[in-house]
């Protein structure tokens, strides 16, 4: 998901958002239906009944009714029972009217199911034993939750394209799949497959995730578009309907496969804008496949759809609403960030929202690397410097306890935007400490589950921060617990204390995490030496009048007085501005 904290949003993105908002005609107004507080949380703990089943498949049929800002849906959920159960529990927004519930073809009476606050419990006709399979069918519909400020406060977005046609999208990363269809709204309950059938007025197009399975003219002014998605990230299945045209092409991968590329854009867009953006698709694939590994969904597609909100990382169909901004970076920042999530969110999914930095921090680190890949190290360092200036450091990036997405993003006890920029800078410091060979090998194992990924030899994985720590230790043959303890599990940054003893410069790390043996480069009169700092201390001779620079290439994330002073000044300016209003 795009970031919005501190200095992290470029002004070009802000202006693009404003322009798109004008086109969409107040599309995110909160006048529509609003879901319960429970439904608007995601990644909440599963119930025992949910942990007792494996979510094999969802067959989701949705009819979009633009004039009424409404929908009708029928979803069939297939489960395999892992331990005995007497009920099935799923999440579905209670705003929907449920007209029929069936288990294995048998209708469940109304007094045998309930859906308080959006957690739906269905009493089974008979208990199910381990190894049995079952199919839950739910028919539902109505006016779904309207996004208040998509994508940050998500839901359904009902907009109007410049030509007057309906333009509809969904964005539910921070709110959950239950705003669209019945599911288990937890990152540990991703289905093995989703078949998606989108029915819309025939003058509109309904691109979907995964592989196109054909369309059917229903003879009543509507058309159904059919898609199938393998191993989807649970929040990355989305609904898009609009007056789209399609641009397509093929990318010949360094791994020997051919990847379909598709971009669905509004008919009213300027052709030169469309072609300029589409030209970035193979460029981004080149970079990610070179630095990380194979595009995870090459057997399906690299897809992008233009949306009436800024963006989101929907699997094989990334949402794009940046208005074709031309940015000083030389590439579209939003498109590149959302595309990074095909690796860091959709292929690798966090075990819990507490590990969200694995999505956002590693995804954000791809931006400085991409800038360096395109234009050289000076541009990589500029991106890293911009990220450094916006850190909050109010809470640990990882709390080591189960969290909801709202806990992480929006509550004062959570890290907020630090999961983006601080996560990126942590990744950079880890790379500088480990070296490129070990860093990228550990990254591949984290993302693919193996060091030698190739098309067809991996599937999506679910990961936690301790697992990443373990992988780093195994790849390097060294214990990096001290690194994860200091950077991920503490809010404050390591502090480097300096003192002098004659011509001797003494350096000592201080962090609540304990001994911090981070090696450190020191440049004295143009000559760079590395201090071991094995016990968190080191010293070096500095002749009288010597020019000394500590960490001259900014390899190590640490507390800096100049940044603290800048942030204090900016806070004071904001406080004065608020007081004068």
Q: What is the pLDDT of residue 82?
A: 98
Q: What is the pLDDT of residue 33?
A: 74
Q: What is the pLDDT of residue 34?
A: 84
pLDDT at residue 5 above 50? no
Neighbours of 322 (CB within 10 A): 25
Over range 289-302, report the average pLDDT: 98
358: closest CA among 473, 287, 442? 442
Over range 69-92, report the average pLDDT: 98
Active-site position among 140, 420, 468, 487: 420
Residue linked to tokens 């992988």:
471
**Lowest-pLDDT range, 14-28, 392-406, 548-562?**
14-28
Q: What is the pLDDT of residue 31?
A: 63
What DSSP letter does each residue of 102-164 carry, written as one string? EETTEEPPGGGEE-GGGEEEEEEEEEE-TT-EEEEEEEEEE-PPBPSBTTTB-EEEEEE-TTS
CA–chain centroid gap for 2, Å, is 8
CATH topology of domain 351-487: Neutral Protease; domain 2 (1.10.390)
- Render pLDDT for 198-214 as a digit per residue (tens, 0 to 9): 999 999 999 999 999 99
Q: What percent of the chain has pLDDT over 90?
A: 91
Q: pLDDT class for 415, splitting at 50, 70, 90? A: very high
Q: What is the pLDDT of residue 488?
A: 98
341 contacts: CB under 8 Å, gap ≥ 6: 1, 313, 318, 359, 363
Q: What is the pLDDT of residue 327?
A: 84
Distance in angstroms (rounded) separating the CA atoms of residues 245 and 264: 6
359 is in an annotated binding site: no
Map residue 283 onto helix, strand or coil: helix
Map residue 21 onto helix, strand or coil: helix
Please provide residue 422's backbone torsions phi and psi, each rounded to the nearest 5 degrees.
-65, -40
Distance in angstroms (rounded) separating the CA atoms of residues 396 and 415: 6
C-alpha distances out from residue 194 to 64, 228, 230, 301, 460, Å: 18, 6, 7, 15, 14
Q: pLDDT class for 3, splitting at 50, 70, 90? A: low
CA–chain centroid gap for 427, Å, is 16
Question: How high is the mean pLDDT of the chain?
Answer: 93
pLDDT at residue 7 above 50? no
337 is in an annotated binding site: yes
Q: What is the pLDDT of residue 10?
A: 36
What CATH number is given for 495-556 in this structure? 2.60.40
87: closest CA among 113, 105, 67? 113
Map residue 80 onto helix, strand or coil: strand
- Dihedral of the CA atoms 434, 438, 439, 442 (nearest 10)? -130
**Hey, CA dihedral for 360, 362, 365, 370, is it positive or negative?**
negative
- Dihedral of the CA atoms 27, 33, 37, 42 (nearest 10)? -60
Q: What is the pLDDT of residue 328?
A: 83
Distance in angstroms (rounded) separating the CA atoms of residues 581 and 568: 20
- What is the pTM assigned to this prediction? 0.93
Over range 518-530, report the average pLDDT: 96
Residue 409 annotated as catalytic: no
Active-site position among 165, 338, 383, 490: 338
Over range 81-98, report the average pLDDT: 98
46: closest CA among 355, 352, 391? 352
pLDDT at residue 83 above 80? yes
Q: Decide if 233 contacts 349 (C-beta within 8 A).
A: yes
Over range 297-322, report the average pLDDT: 97
Distance in angstroms (rounded) separating the CA atoms of residues 462 and 439: 19
For 11-264, the fitting CATH number among 2.60.40.1730, 2.60.40.1120, 3.40.50.460, 3.30.750.24 is 2.60.40.1730
H or E element: which one contains 574? helix 561-580
- Render pLDDT for 469-491 as a digit per residue (tens, 0 to 9): 999 999 999 999 999 999 999 99
Q: What is the pLDDT of residue 469?
A: 98
DSSP class of 467:
H
360 is in an annotated binding site: yes
- Render pLDDT for 448-471 as a digit per residue (tens, 0 to 9): 999 999 999 999 999 999 999 999
554 contacts: CB under 8 Å, gap ≥ 6: 381, 384, 385
pLDDT at residue 550 above 70? yes
Q: Secondary structure of the chain: what % helix, strand, coil (to 5)?
A: 30, 30, 40
pLDDT at residue 44 above 80? yes
Domain with CATH 1.10.390.10 in the chain: 351-487
pLDDT at residue 432 above 80? yes
Over range 528-548, report the average pLDDT: 94
DSSP class of 376:
-
Residue 524, judged by CB atoms within 10 A of its CB (0-12, 13-18, 19+), counts as middle
Q: Is 260 left (phi over 0), alpha (psi -120 to 50) or beta?
A: beta
Residue 379 annotated as catalytic: no
**Hey, CA dihedral for 269, 275, 278, 284, is it positive or negative?**
negative
Render the burial of 324-334: b for 16+ CB within 10 Å, e for the rest: bbeeebebbbb
Over range 255-278, report the average pLDDT: 98
Over range 227-245, report the average pLDDT: 96
């Amino acid at each position: 998901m795009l970031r919005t904290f501190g200095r992290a949003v470029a002004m070009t993105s802000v202006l693009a958002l404003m322009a798109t908002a004008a086109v969409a005609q107040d599309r995110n107004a909160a006048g529509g239906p609003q879901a319960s507080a429970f439904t608007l949380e995601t990644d909440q703990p599963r119930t025992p009944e949910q942990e007792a089943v494996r979510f094999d498949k969802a067959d989701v049929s949705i009819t979009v009714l633009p004039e009424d800002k409404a929908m009708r849906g029928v979803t069939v959920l297939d489960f395999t029972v892992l331990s005995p159960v007497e009920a099935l529990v799923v999440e579905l927004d209670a705003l929907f009217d449920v007209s029929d519930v069936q288990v294995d073809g048998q209708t469940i009476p109304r007094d045998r199911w309930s859906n308080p606050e959006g957690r739906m419990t269905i009493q089974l006709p008979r208990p199910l034993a381990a190894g049995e399979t079952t199919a839950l069918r739910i028919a539902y519909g109505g006016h779904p939750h309207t996004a208040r400020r998509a994508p940050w406060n998500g839901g359904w977005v009902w907009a109007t394209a410049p030509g007057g046609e309906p333009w509809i999208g969904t964005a539910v990363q921070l709110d959950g799949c239950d705003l669209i269809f019945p599911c288990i709204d937890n990152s540990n309950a991703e289905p093995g497959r989703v078949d998606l059938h989108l029915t819309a007025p025939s003058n509109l197009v309904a691109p979907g995730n995964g592989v196109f399975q054909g369309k059917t003219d229903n003879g009543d002014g509507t058309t159904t578009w059919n898609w199938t998605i393998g191993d989807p990230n649970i929040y990355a299945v989305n609904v898009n309907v609009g007056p789209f045209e399609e641009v397509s092409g093929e990318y010949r991968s360094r791994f020997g496969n051919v990847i379909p590329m598709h971009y669905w854009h509004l008919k009213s867009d300027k052709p030169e804008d469309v072609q300029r953006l589409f030209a970035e698709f193979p460029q981004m694939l080149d970079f990610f496949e070179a630095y990380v590994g194979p595009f995870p969904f090459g057997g399906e597609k690299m897809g992008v759809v233009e949306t009436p909100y800024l963006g989101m990382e929907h699997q094989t169909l990334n949402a794009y609403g940046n208005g074709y901004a031309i940015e000083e970076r030389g590439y579209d920042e939003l498109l590149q960030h959302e595309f990074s999530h095909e690796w860091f969110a959709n292929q690798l999914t966090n075990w819990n929202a507490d590990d969200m930095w694995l999505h956002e921090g590693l995804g954000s680190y791809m931006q400085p690397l991409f800038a360096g890949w395109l234009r050289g190290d000076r541009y990589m360092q500029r991106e890293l410097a911009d990220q450094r200036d916006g850190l909050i450091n109010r809470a640990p990036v990882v709390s080591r306890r189960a969290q909801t997405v709202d806990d992480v993003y929006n509550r004062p006890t959570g890290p907020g935007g630090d999961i983006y920029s601080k996560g990126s800078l942590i990744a950079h410091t880890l790379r500088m400490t480990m070296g490129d060979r070990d860093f990228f090998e550990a990254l591949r194992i984290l993302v693919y589950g193996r060091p030698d990924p190739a098309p067809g030899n991996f599937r999506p994985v679910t990961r936690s921060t301790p697992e990443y720590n373990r992988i780093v230790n195994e790849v390097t043959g060294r214990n990096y617990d001290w690194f994860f303890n200091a950077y991920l599990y503490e809010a404050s940054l390591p502090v480097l204390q300096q003192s002098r003893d004659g011509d001797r410069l003494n350096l000592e790390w201080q962090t609540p995490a304990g001994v911090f043996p981070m090696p450190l480069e020191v440049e004295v009169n143009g000559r760079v030496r590395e201090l071991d700092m094995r016990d968190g201390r080191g010293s070096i001779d500095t002749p009288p009048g010597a020019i000394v620079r500590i960490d001259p290439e900014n390899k190590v994330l640490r507390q800096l007085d100049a940044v603290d002073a800048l942030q204090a000044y900016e806070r004071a300016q904001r406080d004065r501005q608020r007081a004068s209003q």
